[in-house]
A and B are shown apart, each in its own frame.
Chain A
Amino acid sequence: MMHALLAPFAYPFMQRALVAALIVGALCSMMGTYVVLRKLAFIGDGLAHASFAGIVIAYLRNIDYQLGAAVVAVLTALGIGFVHRKGKVSLDTSIGVLFTAAFALGIFLMSRQTRYTLDLQSFLFGDILSVTRGDLIFIVVVGAAVFVAAMLAYRDMLFASFDPVVAEAAGLPVKWLDYGLLVALALTIVVALQSVGIVLVAALLVTPAAAAYQLAKRFTPMLLLSAAFGVTSTVGGLYASYFLGSSSGATIVLVATLLFFIAVALKRLRPA
């Protein structure tokens, strides 16, 4: 029985997918805590779409697509922060303007190619089973860098997320924390891109943290609960997709959604 349950992970591609699922699930859902608390749900979608331009440029220049996606996503994130601050428009508007611009640039460049072999489908919907050894190294290195930065800035980021005005008066570098968060989100999205794809990556940033928000009364428990939901979603989704023969990205997001509704139900059932 146990043997049958562990059978999927006998394959090397499933082992790599499992490691990717663990890292992507934990990283996205922890960063997602800030996304939910700062009401930035739109940004996951935005930066993921923006990174598409990077993928196309990297393809045309024959360089590593993850590098291209990372550079364009980070530049778009900084641009969003800059337009928001200098243009005095809401963050939502700034995201709306810049991510569509970057996405359009990607389509524009691609449409000028008479023939292309770029597998659009795998970027839009992700394929965690195709994670290579090289992809895994990228995921581990960038994921670890984002995680360490987030841990170091943990308290400052918490204060600045809760009460940016008072934090700024107290001398915290609120502006740089904002930019730093946008860059960290851009990198998180690129790390997750191959696993869940452009269209669904936003769900991993928002849904586990939104579920944790239902149940947690304090910040650190919310962060840990969100990570637990995230990892359950990615690993559970991967596992389920193996038996269901379904798309791994879509299955992961559906598991996360299921957990979210369970959390909402638990909150309503729990005596106040």
Chain B
Amino acid sequence: MSCDVELHKVRVSYDAFCALESIDLCVEHGEALGIVGPNGSGKSTLLKTIAGLLRPERGSICVFGTEPRRLPRGSIAYVPQVEAVDWGFPATVSDVVAMGRFAHLPWWGRFGPPDRALVDEAIEAVGMSAMAGRHIAELSGGQQQRAFIARALAQQPRLLLLDEPTTGVDAATEEALRHVVRGVVARGTPVLMTTHDLERVNEWFDRLMVLDRRMLALGTPDEVAASGAYAAIREHTHTHGHLRVDHDPHEGHEAHPEVRV
């Protein structure tokens, strides 16, 4: 079996704080993997590590058979949860989406009609055609999010990483995004996406991972639901006000032994 994305005993730390511990994962070609877990569970860290933005302290990561940083330009498209960009930057929606093509153009290359067509197509896919000429500061939060997803689509990546793309968007937008993601997956591109929203995970994802610094469960959405791992975490969070599984045991754990990994 070959994996498009393969993690082996990956550990990621920020200085003394260990954000991810012993993650093993294989994402196959044309697979949508959902990643759920409480705040601070390392979901974003996992995506950043796969994107090559963070280096694992231990373990290995292979994306298409090599280290993420050694991939050819344009291989990975990453859409962060919160875009830390300057909203006053002189750029329209169309300008931002065009950046997705830049990764594929050599320094001497020309931004030609095929690039322009891909940009328009990506804007259309997220339903932003009417706003293509608008300055980015004039968009709502959900529209900004869609513009950045369009940029990732225009890039035509081999791997798409989405960090909570559905947070703060309305139901219609969410439905549009789901179509977009399923379309990307149908073309064979693996998609890794974090989410808070457990509704309709069946429709979004082929497999679901429950993460809380360690991997607590991995399987089809139905299997994960049956394992109770996510429900346990949620309950644990609600009843104890903390999320970690690496503290001293207390009675809350006895009710959900599957949380202890």
Q: Are the CB atoms of B71 and A156 closer together than 8 Å?
A: no
Question: What is the 8 Å Cβ interface bit string for chain B, positions 126-159, against chain A (1 contact, 0 not)?
Answer: 0000000001000000000000100100010100
A87 CB–B CB distance under 8 Å: no
Question: What is the 8 Å Cβ interface bit string for chain A, positions 154-190, against chain B (1 contact, 0 not)?
Answer: 0110110011011111111000000000000000000
- Complex Cα distance, B158 from A170, in Å, reads 11
Please report whether the interface of chain B is mostly helix, strand, loop or mixed according to DSSP.
loop
* Residue in B76, B85, B95, B102 whose beta carbon sits within 8 Å of that of A169 in the complex: B76
* Residue in B74, B135, B151 whose beta carbon sits within 8 Å of that of A171 in the complex: B74
What total of A-B pairs shows CB separation below 8 Å? Answer: 85
B189 CB–A CB distance under 8 Å: no
- Complex Cα distance, B90 from A257, in Å, reads 21
Q: Are the CB atoms of A166 and B78 closer together than 8 Å?
A: yes
Question: Which of A44-52, A200-208, A217-225 lies at the binding interface?
Answer: A217-225
B75 CB–A CB distance under 8 Å: yes
Q: Are the CB atoms of A171 and B76 closer together than 8 Å?
A: yes
Interface residues of B toward A: which range? Answer: 35 or more
- Complex Cα distance, B135 from A186, in Å, reads 32
Q: CB-nearest residue of chain B relative to A222?
A: B90
A223 to chain B, nearest CB (A): 9
Q: Are the CB atoms of A218 and B95 closer together than 8 Å?
A: yes
Question: What is the 8 Å Cβ interface bit string for chain B, positions 64-101, against chain A (1 contact, 0 not)?
Answer: 00000001111111111001111011111001100110
Q: Are the CB atoms of A166 and B95 closer together than 8 Å?
A: no
B224 CB–A CB distance under 8 Å: no
Q: Are the CB atoms of A162 and B73 closer together than 8 Å?
A: no
Q: Are the CB atoms of A170 and B107 closer together than 8 Å?
A: no
* Residue in A162, A169, A171, A217 whose beta carbon sits within 8 Å of that of B161 in the complex: A169
CB neighbours of B26 from chain A (8 A): none
Q: CB-nearest residue of chain B relative to A174?
A: B53
CB neighbours of A155 from chain B (8 A): 99, 102, 105, 107, 111
- Complex Cα distance, B157 from A171, in Å, reads 11
Given contacts A152-B107, A153-B107, contact A216 B90 (CB under 8 A): yes
* Residue in B84, B96, B103, B135 whose beta carbon sits within 8 Å of that of A172 in the complex: B103
Q: CB-nearest residue of chain A relative to B85?
A: A163
Q: Are the CB atoms of B92 and A170 closer together than 8 Å?
A: no
- Complex Cα distance, B133 from A218, in Å, reads 10
B56 CB–A CB distance under 8 Å: no
CB neighbours of A159 from chain B (8 A): 99, 102-103
* Additional A-B contacts beyond A162-B89, A170-B103, A219-B90 (20; CB < 8 A): A39-B86, A152-B108, A155-B102, A156-B107, A162-B99, A166-B79, A167-B103, A169-B51, A169-B53, A169-B78, A170-B155, A171-B73, A171-B75, A171-B76, A172-B102, A217-B90, A217-B135, A218-B91, A219-B95, A222-B90
A-B contact pairs, 6 of them (CB 8 A): A153-B107, A155-B102, A162-B89, A170-B76, A170-B78, A171-B76
- For the complex of A and B, 3 pairs with smallest distance between CB atoms: A169-B78, A171-B73, A169-B51
Which A residues form the contact surface with B (CB < 8 A)? 37, 39, 152-153, 155-156, 158-159, 162-163, 165-172, 213, 216-219, 221-222
Which B residues form the contact surface with A (CB < 8 A)? 51-53, 71-80, 83-86, 88-92, 95-96, 99-100, 102-103, 105, 107-108, 111, 135, 148, 151, 155, 157, 161
